[in-house]
Each structure stands twice: as C-alpha cells, then as structure tokens.
A and B are shown apart, each in its own frame.
Chain A
Amino acid sequence: MILVLKHYKRGNMTYISHIDLLRHFTRAFRRAGFEIEFSGGFNPHMQINLGTPLPLGISSSSEYLTVRADVDKDTFLEEYNRVAPKGLEGIRAFAPLVNPNVAGRTVAADYSVAQKGAEEVRREIECVVNELTFEMPITKKGETTYKDVAPLINAIKVYPDRLNVSLAAGNTTLRPDKFVEFLAERYGFKAITTDLWKYEQYVRENGVLLEMDKYLERLEKGE
C-alpha cells in the first residue's frame, strides 16, 4: 500500500540536512516495526521518497514523504508518532491509490517570516508581485549573478509582525530565506529568518494551484 506521511520539521530538527532526514525516517520506521518495502540489489535500502528539500533553518508544517508498507494509514500515523523524534511529528497520513510523486509534482509553497518594519513599506513590498521583471542577486559557490525571479513569485502579503510569500518550489525553487532577506535589504525592514515557516505546498492541476492535501485526498478517492 502506498502511504504518504505529512509531517513537521521544526525545533532542533530544522538544522538537519535532507540526507540526515532520510536516515531519521529509516530508523524511526524500523523502531515502529513497519515492514517498509526495500530496494533490491547488492545493498538493499528502505525505499523512502522525500519531498523537495527544505533549506537548513526553515521550519515546516507541510512536509511529505512516500513509502510502500503493509499497514493502514491510521496505524501508520499513530505508530510513527509513538517513535518519532521531537520536531518530526506526523500530522496526517494519506493512502493514495497511485504514486503521488510529491517531489516531482510540487510547484509552489507558502512561507511566513517574522518581520519588523515592513508595514511602513507594505505597498511597495506587495507591489513586487506585479513587476514584469525583478532582478535579485544569487550567490552560488562564491559567484554572484543577477537573476530575474519575477516568474517565481506568486504572492506577497504583509501582516502585522509577519510577511507571507508564495514562491516557486520543486523543480525550480526560489529560496524563501534569500528572497525575504533581499526584500528586507531593498525596502529597509528587518526579516527575522530564524522564524521562517513553510505552511503549505501546491501541485498544478489544469493550470491552477491545488493544495497538496487536496491533491492527495483526490488520489485517495482515485480521482
């Protein structure tokens, strides 16, 4: 049976890398006693498909992983939570009838960051989403290039003390921490990136964004 686990990545666990996250799950599933499907070959390993990697330091209440195991989804969630490390607790389990390909289908994600002073420049910040081009410096391996990120910005909204952004995630990703830091520098406010949450992620269905949970619910019904 295909199972998708929606889980948190928060607290101390925001500091662990994607590969270490994978190690955590193989160990937790073994503790839970699940019979997860293994790969074949010389060096068999537990087959776990993680979603898109989350940069270090960002918390999330919207992470997904996929496995095949002989256990119903309620037991899966309950037993996993019995042995889950603090910060990687399960939120919900899905049993889609087909492989959901979460990492491949993800196109966007919503983030929320704590801020100070953005309300005074709210209009300017929120108008960025209307720009046809929006150049931002991207530093990779010590080399800085300017990139037009306008197509990667879906929405920006300023709230008291917080700034919410919806950005491309998946095959093409705009890093939320870098983006809000750039906005903060440009518009003169403070973005507190140690308090940055990912709270939703999306697939694209018939040209519109659909929340991951809704997409998985449809797959459970075989739609």
Chain B
Amino acid sequence: MTLEEILLRSEKPARYSGGEYNTPDMDKPCDVRFCICMPDLYEVGMSNLGLKILYHVLNEQKGTVCERCFAPALDFRALLKENDIPLMSLETKTPLRDFDMVGFSVQYEMLFTGILYMMESAGIPFYAKDRDESYPIICGGGPVAINPEPIADFFDLFMVGEGEEVIVKLTELYKKCKAKKMKKAKFLALAEKIEGVYVPSLNTPEHRKVVKKAVVRDFDKCYYPTAQLMPTLEVVHDRAMMELYRGCQNGCRFCQAGYYYRPIRFRSEQTVKKAIECLIRETGFDEISLGSLSTGDYPYLEELLTDINPIAAKAHVHLALPSLRLSSFKKEFAESSRKSSLTFAPEAGTQRLRNVINKNVTEEEIRTGLSAAFDQGYTSVKLYFMLGLPTETDEDLMGIVDLVKMIRRLYHENHKGGVNISVSCSVFIPKPGTPFQWEAQISREEMSRKQYLLKDELRKVKGASFHYHDRETSELEAIFARGDRALAPLIELAYRKGAMFDSWTEYFKYDIWEEAMTELHIDKQKYLGEQPLDKPLPWEFIDIGVSRSFLIREREKAYRAECTPGCDKGCQGCGAMALALCDEVKK
C-alpha cells in the first residue's frame, strides 16, 4: 500500500497528513533536522503551547529545520506495521530515525509508555546504551524533566526547565559537532555544560552533578510565536494562546508548576497587546486564550483588556481568561468573557485545610466572587478539589459539601431558576519540587472511601454533580512522579505486555502494571509512602532554584496550618531570585 492508501484507510487521516497553515519553510538549507515528538494523539499534542514555542523558535534559526511527530492512533500504527513503514514526521514524512535529533516533550507521567510506543514504531531501540552512532540524539523535556529518573535510561539527554533558549543552544552545538564529525559521546559531554542539560549516561545515582534548570531571564523580550500553526482538524484547545507571564505568586504547597517556573516574570502590557494583534492577523482563530498559571494575578490585566477588547470585538474574536482565582475575579473580567460556566479551584473544603496547602482563598472571597458572577448571569459553576491532602480528615470533606450548599443558597438569595454546581475531585499526588514532595499518598482503599463519602453526601444536594479521578491512574502517577531509575524496566515490561495510552481511560489497564510490578519485585510502597527527610530524594540533583530549606520550612508551616503570603506581598526568600530577577520584587 502507498502512504496515500494507508492515510485513506485510517480513521482520521488529517492527523498524519500535515500541511497546516503557518508551517515554516521545510526546504531551506539546513545543518540540523530536529523532530519534536509528543507521545499523544495529534489533537492533544497540537493543543500544547510548549510545542508551538519550541517548534517555531527552532524553525526561526538559520540552518535548523524542526518537524513534528505525534503518537499514531492504534489503527494507523497497525497499518504502518503491516506495510513495514517506520513512524515518520508530519511535514516531510521523514522516518524519525533519519533525524539528527529527536525530542520528546513529556507533559506528565502517564505518557511514559507513549514514548516507547513511538520509539518502537520508529524502529529506535528503547535504551540509550543500545543505540549506536547511527541513531539520532534522543532528547527529553517538558514538566516531567523535574524528575527524569524513571525514564532517564531511555534518553541521551534532558532539557530541564524552560526550553526555548536551551534548545537553540543545543542545536547550535550539534551543528558544530556535526561539522567536526564528532562522536555522540563527545557531543553529550559538551552538551552537559549547557545550563539546563542533564545527560543520564554521564551520571549515576551514586555520582552525579547538580543540574540547574534553564530559565529565560528576559521574558519580556524573549521569542514568542504569533504565526502559530493552524491545526487541520479540531484539537482539544482549538484557539490561539498568549502567555502573559511565567511563574506564580501564590505558592500553593501542592503545585509543582508554581515552584518549577519560579521566579515570576511578566510580559509588559505593550508586548502582549502587540502579540495579540499579530495573533488575530496571522492565525485567524476566533478565540485567544490569555494563559498563565493564574491569569487574574497578571498586574496589567485590566488595562490590557481595556486596550484589546475593542480590537478583539471588531474581529469577532473571543478572549478567554482561564485560571482565574476567586479572589482575583472581578466584575469587569466576567463582562468581557462569554457567560458559559465559571471554573474555580478552592482545592480544599475547610479554611484549615486551605491554610495547610496555602491556597489563600477565604470563604468570604468565594462568596463575593461568586455573587458578582451570578449577578453577571452565570448559572453554572465548576469547582475543583483535591482528595487525600496531607492532614485531611472527614471534616474537611464535609467542608466541600457545606461549600456547595452555601453556593446554592447564595445563588437563590437573588436569582430564580436552577444553578449547576459541578464538583470535581482529583487525588493529591505528592510532586517533586514542592513542600509536599516527602508526603505519602493515601491508599486506593482510602481514596475509594473518601470518594464514596462525598458522592453520597453530594447526591443529597439539588443541582450538584460529582466527578472524581480514577484511583489506579492517580496511584501510578504518584509512583512515577517520585520514581527512580529502577522504574525504567517496569515501564518497558508493562509496555511489552500491552500498556499504552495510559492517559486515556479506555486504554488504561492497571492489572498489567500490577503484574509487571510483581514480576520485577517492585515494591510500590517505596514510592507511595512518606519519604525520609534525612536522605536525598532521587531528583534532588535537579536544582529548580528553590532551596531545600525553604521547602522544609513550608512543610512545617503546613502542619501548623500557617499561610505564607503571596510573592506580591513581599519576598518570602524561596531562593529562585538567584536565577533571574523576580518581577514581583522589581515592582
């Protein structure tokens, strides 16, 4: 069968055909060909902002061409295999193994098997030690690079931290090494000297160097793509994205992103405005999302909205404001967005537990914020919580129910008709880089008990609905989040037994994982239980800029249910200032 015939036989050929508007010149003379891989389907991968930034920044470089490859759906993979065609890039249909460098962007732990799935489809051996000079340099990056150990053996190198500058340095280095016909080992030794690069083969768990994460120092002036790729089919986040700032002032103690992306760096209002005008002109999307970790905290939000609302309205472009905090929710923001559903994340049901996790939102703020929203015409509220937080008791769970009841009463004080309150509970996963990185995860039995307790109680509240996360997925995510190098064989074995697309509930098979753990004598409790303070954690060689002593101090404050004020109230001394000047301090 020809590739055209295979495409026509697949479920959604547009996933693999390429040719999107704003695809850069693929035929320019180049010294290095890079392929960015996303171990998930096109629709998910194309929604990722990081991919767009790295893809466009590489293609901007003279002599560098960057292509993309997403995980093939099972039907397409079967067709490729049947016809003996290796996995290839979207743009020029080049087999992955013919690239100079292949980079996997790994968004979270459940995508680990997807990496192996893509490598196998491409005919690339899984382990770095089994790949000779003929194979491309396999790089890893994305949020999981904060603890790359479980997948370290599969990779030649990792980019830790923010990728847009380090990826350019790496490809430039590669060009030089290629011109001098240097061996892979020599290149890796030189690459390791670049800030933010970790080479697993040059480090053992016993002897390793500290790897400092890469940070963009001048964020306002740093590259941002406005001629973004236009997906050929509907993707999960089918809109243009404008990143307002990096980092977060709030310091929620469970939040990995909040610690990983420190220090806070804002884009100026003028830069954002100019970029949004370009986005409208160059993409044509009908929606632009003003993204960040907490958009309501962007200091120039009000002036920005005043400036760009008329421009957006004229072009019939909707401005979306995700990640609003209740305390930052203002009437003006609600007015400028479409009144569908409001989403807020109190994360915990009682003030005590919110203090433990440092989610600085009070019931009074919830009340004020929501009452403003109801007055604006919102009739649907989505609330996110976490179960199994450190020090949590049943009283805290009942606090969730009380909060839902309060919201319902609040709505009926001044409004007629029904209000929909949707409660979503995920399971707390202790993540590296946070003050809770030493905490235990609750058992699956305990998760189940808590979920049913809430389900039974919320059933009694009219207009409320309850959704909760899968227990097995949460457990596996926790194992990998704090995993070490011993887990690579587990990922391999589970993959060989049929585990893949673990982030898709319809494909996730936990029994395979349990079977593989038993076979390899892996004690999952080692990863799920509380970690001792006196021993270094497997990922502590990664320096994210926040000091260990600060994390311990935060953990102790959590036990005392003591809050730490946001960075906007004064520097708390986390240590990230050493990486780049924190804009909160500049203010």
Contacts and interface: CB of A to CB of B under 8 A. Distances in A.
B486 interface: no
Given A56-B8, A57-B8, A16 B233 contact: yes
B14 A16 contact: yes
B5 to A, nearest CB: 6
Given A15-B7, A20-B233, A57-B8, A46 B316 contact: yes
Interface string A11-33: 11101110110011011111101
Contacts of A28: 21, 284
Contact of B4 (A30, A33, A194): A194
A104 interface: no
Interface in A40-54: 44, 46
Contacts of B20: 85
A117 interface: no
Contacts of A26: 284, 286
A83 interface: yes
Interface string B217-242: 00000000000001011100010000
Interface in A74-91: 83, 85-87
A33 B19 contact: no
A29 B21 CA distance: 13
B263 to A, nearest CB: 36
Contact of A44 (B13, B21, B316): B316
A159 interface: no
A12 B19 contact: yes
B286 A30 contact: yes
A187 interface: no
B369 interface: no
Interface stretch (B121-129, B208-216, B275-283): B275-283
A87 B14 CA distance: 13
Classify chain B's interface size. Answer: 20 to 34
Interface residues of A, number: 28
Contacts of B5: 194
Question: In terms of DSSP, what is the predominant structure of the interface of chain B?
Answer: loop
Contacts of A17: 14, 233
Contacts of B8: 15, 56-57, 193-194
A1 B8 CA distance: 38
B70 to A, nearest CB: 15
B281 to A, nearest CB: 6
B230 to A, nearest CB: 6
Nearest to A27: B284
A87 B285 CA distance: 19
B52 to A, nearest CB: 16
A202 to B, nearest CB: 26
A11 B371 CA distance: 53
Nearest to B230: A27
B14 A29 contact: no
Interface in A185-205: 193-194
Contacts of B18: 12
Nearest to B2: A194
B531 interface: no
B316 A87 contact: no
B17 interface: yes
Contact of A87 (B7, B19, B315, B317): B19
A15 B234 contact: no
A82 B109 CA distance: 43
A67 to B, nearest CB: 14
A194 B1 CA distance: 11
B230 A15 contact: no
A93 to B, nearest CB: 19
Given A38-B316, A44-B316, A194-B8, A16 B230 contact: no
A28 B13 CA distance: 22
A30 B19 contact: no
A51 B32 CA distance: 44
Given A16-B232, A20-B234, A31 B284 contact: yes
Contacts of A23: 234, 238
A30 B287 CA distance: 12
A15 B232 contact: yes
A24 to B, nearest CB: 8
Contacts of B284: 26-31, 83
19 contacts: A12-B17, A15-B232, A16-B17, A24-B232, A27-B230, A27-B283, A27-B284, A27-B286, A28-B21, A30-B284, A30-B317, A31-B283, A33-B281, A56-B13, A57-B7, A83-B21, A85-B20, A87-B19, A194-B8
Given A31-B281, A31-B282, 9 more contacts: A12-B19, A13-B232, A24-B21, A29-B284, A30-B317, A57-B13, A86-B19, A193-B8, A194-B8
